[in-house]
A = this chain, B = another copy of it.
Amino acid sequence: MATARRGPYFCGLDAAMDVVAGKWKSLIIWELHEHGTRRFAELRRGLPGVSEKMLVQHLREMEEDGLVHREVYPVVPPKVEYSLTEHGATLNTALESLVEWGQERIRRIGAEKVPVDAA
């Protein structure tokens, strides 16, 4: 499972892109930032179309990259909560201007927005 390279990098942008590359990672950051904390099934519902495999895989990589914290509650039925670490939160901040740029671009090219379920 060699998704993230983790270096060597050409420049800062290269390193940052490495960590957010992956079909759903940017959306996961968005979800966790919006909601603070999210259970596995909640994330799944918030990301319409994601498969369990991809969601787990991305979450594991982001955990390994120090962006996401995974809290396991030893109860039955199982309960696991995901949240952004401090480092993940700084990434979210660094992404803000890019989010705005993307919103402007959506207007510019007239792309539709996929409706996201409110949880």
Q: Inside 8 A of A97's CB, which chain B residues have their CB?
A: 93-97
A17 to B22, CA, bound (A): 10
10 sample A-B contacts, Cβ–Cβ < 8 Å, listed by A number = A9-B112, A10-B47, A11-B102, A13-B29, A14-B102, A15-B105, A16-B99, A16-B105, A90-B101, A95-B98
- From residue 90 to 119 of chain A, which have CB atoms closer than 8 A to chain B? 90-91, 93-106, 108-109, 111-114, 116
Report the interface size for chain A: residues with CB under 8 A from the other chain.
44
Q: For residues 53 through 106 of chain A, which have their beta carbon under 8 Å from a beta carbon of chain B? A: 87, 90-91, 93-106
Tell me whether A6 is interfacial, beta carbon within 8 Å.
Answer: yes
Contact B12 A99 (CB under 8 A): yes
| Identical copies of this chain, number | 2
Enumerate chain A interface residues (CB-CB to B < 8 A). Answer: 6-17, 19-21, 26-27, 29-30, 47, 87, 90-91, 93-106, 108-109, 111-114, 116
